[in-house]
Amino acid sequence: MQKPAVNEPRIDPEEILEGIRRWVEVETPSHDGVAVNKLNDIVEAEFVALGAKVERVPGRDGFGDVVIARSPWGGDGPGILVLSHLDTVHPHGSIDTPELKWRREGDSVFGPGIYDMKAGAHMAFYAYRHLLRLNEQSQLPITFCFVPEEEVGSPTSRATIERLARNAKHVLVTEPARDGGKIVTSRKGVGRFVIKARGRPAHAGVRHQDGRSAIREIAHQILAVEGMTNYDRGITTNVGLITGGTGVNVVPQECTAEVDLRVPDPTIAEEMCARIGALTARDPDVQLKVEGGMNRPPYTKDAGIAALFDHAKALAAEVGFDLQDVPLTGGGSDGNFTAALGVPTLDGLGADGKGAHTDYEQIYFSSLEPRTRLWVKLFETLK
């Protein structure tokens, strides 16, 4: 680890943690736009205090605003886009539960959304402030984008993310690190489909033969869809939700199944969307409707991403740790949108820890300082 000169401002992990706590203690379930905006206000004020130019894209459909903060230097040309989300999967009150109340146990610090991803979002902010404390500017302008509803697929912020990414040379995503500090250079694409069957209702005792069961039809479709999973090709399908029927003594008229699809590359994405879209009813008297498609395109490690990763790896070595990337992960993020536009994207640059989306979500305190140092170096060197 590099030792700073005596009077040089230092990167203080206790100070980073205090800042993370300020952001974690405002609970921000994705669907509560008012709650997310409370945290947006805090984040906006912290950036304004540093002289950043802040813009807010008003939320819609009940979601919070998108907050965009720009460095006052570097002009409007292509720069560094730092992508974070401020929502979490945890409902209100999680911070009052014994599992997720704010606490530090050894190297672990617990809190709702601390690992995914308020710690990472704050580390990037801290690195930016550190640059100012050093009286430095990055060579490229820096734009921060805080998304209010990533955990539900970024339905209202995607257009803003893509607009900002088109004007970026590099995208750095503050999602949590994986498996001992590894970062993410590729992610599977995510597809979502709704399969609806409409049959014919009948009294299950008196007129059974007149009925056409929508549930029976969907049962066949579930097996067909689940049968498309192919681990060797990196394809998974999961029917995660089903609804249907009105009573145990009624041949059901309606049934719906919802499908999650993960694919490793655009060609397979196209193939699988076509296969799922082409499902047909087995019972000719039942109508089948399939809706949906890719929600997040695959994020593949191309030459630009490989070069950006090599650069970050060299910087991490200067800081004193070995940066590795994980093999293709199934979890999607907003990095999928930016990488699919061809903009070199590094993801998973947040804190190390574990338990994203669980009641044991935690970060490792020891990861805060070295990884924030890496952020400072990325800001200093990217051009």
Stretch that binds Zn ion, among 18-26, 131-139, 172-180, 201-209 (CB under 5 A): 172-180
Nearest distance from C-beta of residue 116 to Zn ion, angstroms: 4
CB 40 within 8 A of CB 67: yes
List the interface residues with Zn ion, window 80-99 (CB under 5 A). none
Q: Which is nearer to Zn ion, 16 or 117 (CB)?
A: 117
Nearest distance from C-beta of residue 175 to Zn ion, angstroms: 5
Residue 217 contacts Zn ion per CB under 5 A: no
Nearest distance from C-beta of residue 251 to Zn ion, angstroms: 43
The encoded tokens of residue 2 equal 């590099």
Q: Which is nearer to Zn ion, 46 or 334 (CB)?
A: 334
Query: How many whole angstroms separate alpha carbon 7 and alpha carbon 12?
Result: 14
Query: Binding residues for Zn ion, how many (CB under 5 A)?
Result: 3
Query: How many whole angstroms separate alpha carbon 293 and alpha carbon 190?
Result: 9
Nearest distance from C-beta of residue 29 to Zn ion, angstroms: 13
Q: Which is nearer to Zn ion, 117 or 251 (CB)?
A: 117
Nearest distance from C-beta of residue 287 to Zn ion, angstroms: 38
Strand-pair partners of 69? 54, 144
Nearest distance from C-beta of residue 43 to Zn ion, angstroms: 16
The total of other beta-carbon atoms located within 10 Å of residue 182's CB is: 17
Residue 334 contacts Zn ion per CB under 5 A: no
Nearest distance from C-beta of residue 375 to Zn ion, angstroms: 17
Stretch that binds Zn ion, among 169-177, 229-237, 238-246, 373-381 (CB under 5 A): 169-177
List the interface residues with Zn ion, window 237-256 (CB under 5 A). none
Residue 117 contacts Zn ion per CB under 5 A: yes
List the interface residues with Zn ion, window 174-193 (CB under 5 A). 175
Q: Which is nearer to Zn ion, 30 or 237 (CB)?
A: 30
Q: Which is nearer to Zn ion, 82 or 117 (CB)?
A: 117
Nearest distance from C-beta of residue 123 to Zn ion, angstroms: 14
Stretch that binds Zn ion, among 95-103, 115-123, 184-192, 375-383 (CB under 5 A): 115-123
Stretch that binds Zn ion, among 48-56, 61-69, 113-121, 135-143 (CB under 5 A): 113-121
**Residue number with the smallest Cβ distance to Zn ion:** 116
Residue 361 contacts Zn ion per CB under 5 A: no
Residue 202 contacts Zn ion per CB under 5 A: no
Residue 347 contacts Zn ion per CB under 5 A: no
Task: Please confirm whether the linkage preceding 117 is cis (ω < 30° from 0).
Answer: yes
Residue 116 contacts Zn ion per CB under 5 A: yes
* Residues near Zn ion, by CB under 5 A: 116-117, 175
